[in-house]
Structure 1
Amino acid sequence: MIEIGQYNNLEIIREAVQGVYLADNEGNEVLLPNKYVPKEFKIWDTISVFVYLDHEERITATTIKPYVTLQNFGYLRCMDVNEYGAFVDWNLEKQLFVPFKEQARPMQVGNWYIVYAYLDEKTNRLVGSSKTKKYLSNENITLKKFDKVDILVTHLTEKGANVIINRKHEGLIYKENIFEDIRTGDRLEAYIKKVREDGKIDVVLQEEGYKSIEPNAQFVLEELQASGGFLPLHDKSNPEEIKNQLGLSKKLFKKAIGTLYKDKKIEIKKDGIELL
């Protein structure tokens, strides 16, 4: 079956004036317009295409990659607003429609929004919604501490960065755990710090605990080597100094130099750490 709003691997079955026709293994066909047809191809070649409805509501294929696919989230710019709703740029010729009823707040041209793409059952069109919370749930969480996850930053607050985890859950990176410049719309790899009893999930951008000691120790060792064998940082240094110079929290830094000290790789002095 050819799936609207998704990437499909289809076979080229015949040429036509307007392009080439593609088919799945059930015989369902879709047109790939001339402007997207590869310069070199053979009949029965398999090609990966994105399928959606064009301006005339016809099912069509494209080799252009959209910014968001079915049942996924994207950070999209509003390009137009009319009496029916808003239209956001998702990198295809036909802009993605976001009805007024699916807007968390009225969209304005030029602004950017986190948008979820879903299939409208009445029209069979891919439609957007900025009411993202209803597509997320923090029930039946199977994640655990130290799990590596994919996140999308949705907005920044005084507490930190709110994120969508694995396209399913809401989470938070507390500001004291942010040691790099992150912005709304960023897609990052992160780690689960804690899953609370009330379903809230704490996230960090660096591995913590026993899984992070060795990599950070190696990182500090490489920084020492690059700095001529000495760094003016130690276990009593200001956390901001450590963060600015190494991008590590003081807790992770102390664990790293503790490992290096035990392995007799460094000497901890009053004014810094030195390679042995």
Structure 2
Amino acid sequence: MNLGDFNDLEVVREVDFGLYLTSDDGDLLLPRKYVEPGTQIGDVVHVFVYRDSEDRLIATNLEPHARVGQFAALSVRDVSTTGAYLDWGLEKDLLLPYRNQRRNLRPGERVTVFVYLDEASDRIVASAKWEWFLSEQPYPGNVGDAANLFVAEETDLGFKMLVDGTHQGLVYHNEVFKPLRLGDVLTGFVRTIRPDGKLDLSLQRPGYDEALAATDTLLAALRAAPNGLLPLGDKSLADDVYRRLGMSKKVFKKALGALYKQGLVHLSPEHTQLLQAE
């Protein structure tokens, strides 16, 4: 049985307050409120297994915000002399011990953690020192590759990202054109692979591919706009450009120039008109 993960376990007996399931570690309770209607002795149920407030193994059909071996951004529900307690979607909160914190936390804060099984206590705990759990192998991708990014932490330079769940990267503040929140998942691109193995990242496709993608995006927006008139132009605010098109002002101007050279648009300071329908 995998503690801190989902397991397929057989129902062996029924009591007033739920069903008992069998496992290699002994029988454990699936409380009555988590029992699907029609479940009978002998059935195999798919349940998440963890420990309750009295350290007893217990099963639930709730989906936690993170399982053992996963990263997550969780909210602090409470703090005590033992550490911070995080809301991970289950009845019993997840402990983030003081030894695993990088700073003192307050209720209501969000913090990026790695969830693991502490071998000494056989308890599921969290660590805010999430970098310790990244791969030590060189990043297997290349400059220009698309990657899955998880917003892990904001710093003075920018946002630390988990890249494909295995490596660390940074998106500099001047590359960010929309609000980011811890735990956000988005697609980005590898800009540089540094000698120390860390990555510089971009939220927009770099180089020539970026310009091509932006031109296609702008052309699609013009075709979808009433009468082919888009209320964005050379003098528009960068925030307005990003909100409508998801690209920076710099990239937007490159796309405008490309469409203008093709004779497809008329340019005005605050709007762009599509001249040619295809």
TM range (shorter): 0.7 to 0.9
Structure 1 residue matching 2:131: 3-state secondary structure? helix
Higher mean displacement: 85-94 or 132-141: 132-141
Distance 1:30 1:198 in 2: 46
Note the alpha carbon deviations across 1:84-128, whole angstroms, 9 max, x for none. Answer: 333222221222122221111123333332222111111111011
The aligned counterpart of 2:154 is: 156
- TM-score if structure 2 supplies the norm length? 0.81
Tell me the amino acid that sits aligned with residue 50 of structure 1.
F
The aligned counterpart of 1:106 is: 104
Distance 1:138 1:249 in 2: 34
Confirm or deny that 1:252 pairs with 2:251: yes
Confirm or deny that 1:127 pairs with 2:125: yes
The aligned counterpart of 1:5 is: 4
Is the 1:12–1:20 Cα contact (8 Å) retained in structure 2?
Answer: no
The aligned counterpart of 1:36 is: 34
Is the 2:77–2:85 Cα contact (8 Å) retained in structure 1?
Answer: yes
Distance 2:260 2:21 in 1: 63
Distance 2:88 2:136 in 1: 28
Distance 2:72 2:93 in 1: 13
Rate the CA distance shift 1:233–1:78 in 2: closer, same or farther, 3 A. Answer: closer
Tell me the amino acid that sits aligned with residue 4 of structure 2.
G
CA shift, 1:37, in A, is: 0.8
Is the 1:6–1:70 Cα contact (8 Å) retained in structure 2?
Answer: yes
Note the alpha carbon deviations across 1:162-181, whole angstroms, 9 max, x for none. Answer: 22223322211122221222
Structure 2 residue matching 1:256: 3-state secondary structure? helix
Is the 1:77–1:110 Cα contact (8 Å) retained in structure 2?
Answer: yes
The aligned counterpart of 1:87 is: 85
Superposed, which structure 2 residues align to 1:209-224 within 5 Å? 209-224=207-222
- Stretches of structure 2 that go unaligned for 5 or more consecutive residues are none
Is the 2:148–2:188 Cα contact (8 Å) retained in structure 1?
Answer: yes
The aligned counterpart of 2:70 is: 72
Distance 2:52 2:73 in 1: 22
Tell me the amino acid that sits aligned with residue 227 of structure 2.
G
Distance 1:237 1:22 in 2: 66
Rate the CA distance shift 1:119–1:11 in 2: closer, same or farther, 3 A. Answer: closer
CA shift, 1:227, in A, is: 4.3
Tell me the amino acid that sits aligned with residue 6 of structure 1.
D
The aligned counterpart of 1:201 is: 199
The aligned counterpart of 2:140 is: 142
Rate the CA distance shift 1:227–1:22 in 2: closer, same or farther, 3 A. Answer: same
Distance 1:108 1:270 in 2: 50
Structure 2 residue matching 1:77: 3-state secondary structure? strand
Distance 1:197 1:270 in 2: 45
Distance 2:136 2:262 in 1: 42
Is the 1:53–1:59 Cα contact (8 Å) retained in structure 2?
Answer: yes
The aligned counterpart of 1:58 is: 56
Number of residues of Structure 1 aligned to a counterpart in Structure 2: 271
Distance 2:9 2:3 in 1: 16
CA shift, 1:238, in A, is: 6.5
Higher mean displacement: 109-118 or 212-221: 212-221
The aligned counterpart of 1:228 is: 227
CA shift, 1:38, in A, is: 0.8
Rate the CA distance shift 1:81–1:199 in 2: closer, same or farther, 3 A. Answer: same
CA shift, 1:239, in A, is: 7.1
